Structure 1
Amino acid sequence: MPPAPVVTDLRVHLERPTKSDFDCSRDDDPGAQDWYRMDKDLCLHRGELKAYLYLKIKDQANLTAEDWVVTDIKTGLLRPADSPWMKCDGGVSVRREKFTVGVDQVVTAVDVVFGEDVEDPRPQWVTLQSPLWLRAHVDSPSARLTFLRGRGQPFPEIAPELRLSESDGFKIVQISDLHLRTGFGTCQDAMERDGTNLGPIRADQETLRLVEEILESERPNLVVLTGDQIHHDVDDSQSAIFKAVTPMIVRRIPWTVIFGNHDDEGRHASSRESPLSSQPGWKEHI
Structure 2
Amino acid sequence: MTRRLVRTGIQLAALTTLVFVTVFFLDTRYRVLPQAIHSHLPLHHEGLVITDITVQTCSTLNPLSKCMLDQKKWHRVEKDLYLGTGWVSKAYVHIKRKREEELKTEDRVVVDVRTGKLDPAIGEKTQAAERWESRPAGIWIKRSLKRHASDSKRAVTAVDVLFGADAVEPRPGWELVKNGALHLETGKESRDPRLSIRRGAVPKHEKPIPKIRKDGKYKIMQISDLHLSTGLGACRDPEPKGANGGHCDADPRTLEFVERVLDEEKPDFVVLSGDQVNGDTAPDVQSALFKIIGPLAERKIPHAAIFGNHDDEGTLSRHAQMDLYDSLPYSLSEPGPNTIEGVGNYFVEIQAHSSKHSALTIYFLDTHSYSPDEVHYRGYDWLKPNQINWFKTTAEGLKEAHSHYSHKHLNMAFIHIPLPEYGNPDNERVGNWTEPITAPTFNTHFKDALVEYEVKAVSCGHDHVNDYCSLAKDNVTGDPEIWMCYAGGSGFGGYGGYNNYHRRLRVFEIDTNQARITTWKRLEYGDIGARLDEQIIVDSGQVQSANRE
TM over 0.5: yes
Whole-Å separation in 2 of the counterparts to 1:232 and 1:238: 11
The superposition leaves residues 212-240 of structure 1 with CA deviations (integer Å, 9 ceiling, x where unpaired) of 11211211111111111000222110100
Instruction: Name which of 144, 160, 185 aligns with 1:111.
Output: 160
- Following superposition, the deviation at residue 152 of structure 1 comes to 3.7
Amino acid at match of 1:124: G
Q: How many residues align?
A: 273
Q: Name the SS of the counterpart of 1:42 in structure 2.
A: coil
Structure 2 CA distance for aligned equivalents of residues 37 and 173 of structure 1? 40
Cα contact 2:106–2:147 (8 A) shared by 1: yes
Q: Is structure 2 residue 224 aligned with structure 1 residue 150? A: no
- Residues 228-243 of structure 1: pairs in structure 2 closer than 5 A: 228-233=275-280, 234-243=282-291
* Alignment check: 8 A CA contact 2:82 2:189 kept: no
Who is 2:320 aligned against? 274
User: In the aligned structure 2, how far is the partner of 1:154 from the partner of 1:45?
Assistant: 35
C-alpha distance in 2 between matches for 1:219 and 1:191: 26
| Cα distance per residue 1:44-74 (max 9 Å; x no partner) | 1012210000111222232244322111111
CA-CA distance at 1:154 after TM superposition: 1.5
1:137 Cα deviation after fit: 6.0
2:70 is the counterpart of 1:31: yes
Summarize the alignment of residues 61-100 of structure 1 with structure 2, pairs less than 5 Å apart.
61-80=101-120, 84-97=131-144, 98-100=146-148
- Quote the Cα distance in structure 2 between the aligned partners of 1:89 and 1:21: 16
Q: Deviations over 1:133-160 (max 9, x none)?
A: 102665432111110111141132xx21
Q: Which residue of the partner structure matches residue 162 of structure 1?
A: 210
Deviation, 1:281, is 6.5
Q: Which residue of 2 aligns with 1:261?
A: 309
2:153 match: secondary structure:
helix
Q: Structure 2 vs 1, CA of residues 206 and 264 (structure 1 numbering), >3 Å: closer, same or farther?
A: same
Contact 1:125 1:147 in 2 (8 A): yes
Normalising to structure 2: TM-score of the pair? 0.47
Per the alignment, in what secondary structure is the counterpart of residue 57 of structure 1? strand
Alpha-carbon distance change, 264 to 250 in structure 1, aligned in 2, over 3 angstroms: same
CA shift in 2, pair 1:188/1:170, >3 Å: closer
For 2:57, the equivalent position in structure 1 comes to 14
Aligned with 1:252: secondary structure? coil
Could you tell me how far apart the structure 1 residues matched to 2:238 and 2:109 are?
A: 50
Offset of residue 210 of structure 1? 1.1
Aligned pair partner of 2:267 in 189, 202, 220:
220
- Point out where structure 2 has 5 or more consecutive residues left out of the alignment: 1-25, 31-46, 122-128, 333-549
Name the aligned partner's letter for residue 79 of structure 2: K
Amino acid of the structure 1 residue aligned with 2:52: D
TM-score (norm 1): 0.87
Counterpart Cα distance in 1 of 2:307 and 2:270: 14
Shift of 1:273: 4.4
- CA 1:230/1:215 → structure 2, altered by over 3 Å: closer, same or farther? same
* Pair 137,117 (structure 1): closer, same or farther in 2 beyond 3 Å: farther
**Could you say what secondary structure the match of 2:140 adopts?**
strand
Task: Write the distance in 1 (CA, Å) between the matches of 2:277 and 2:216.
Answer: 33
Q: For 1:66, what is the secondary structure of its paired residue?
A: coil
Contact 1:104–1:151, Cα closer than 8 Å, also in 2: no
| Residues 21/34 of structure 1: CA separation in 2 closer, same or farther (3 Å cut) | closer
User: Aligned runs of 1:192-211 on 2, under 5 Å?
Assistant: 192=240, 196-198=241-243, 199-211=246-258
More strand by share: 1
Shift of 1:85: 2.4
Indicate the SS of the match to 1:201: coil
Q: Which has the larger radius of gyration?
A: 2
In 1, distance between residues paired with 2:219 and 2:186? 45
Q: Alpha-carbon deviation of 1:117? A: 0.7
**Aligned pair in 2 of structure 1 residues 86, 273: CA closer, same or farther (>3 Å)?**
farther
Structure (1 or 2) with the greater helix fraction:
2
- 5+ unaligned residues in a row in structure 1: which ranges? 23-28
- TM-fit CA distance, 1:165: 2.4
The alpha-carbon distance between structure 1 residues 279 and 227, as it changes in their structure 2 partners (threshold 3 A), is closer
- Indicate how the Cα distance of structure 1 residues 120 and 137 shifts in structure 2: closer, same or farther if over 3 A, else same: farther
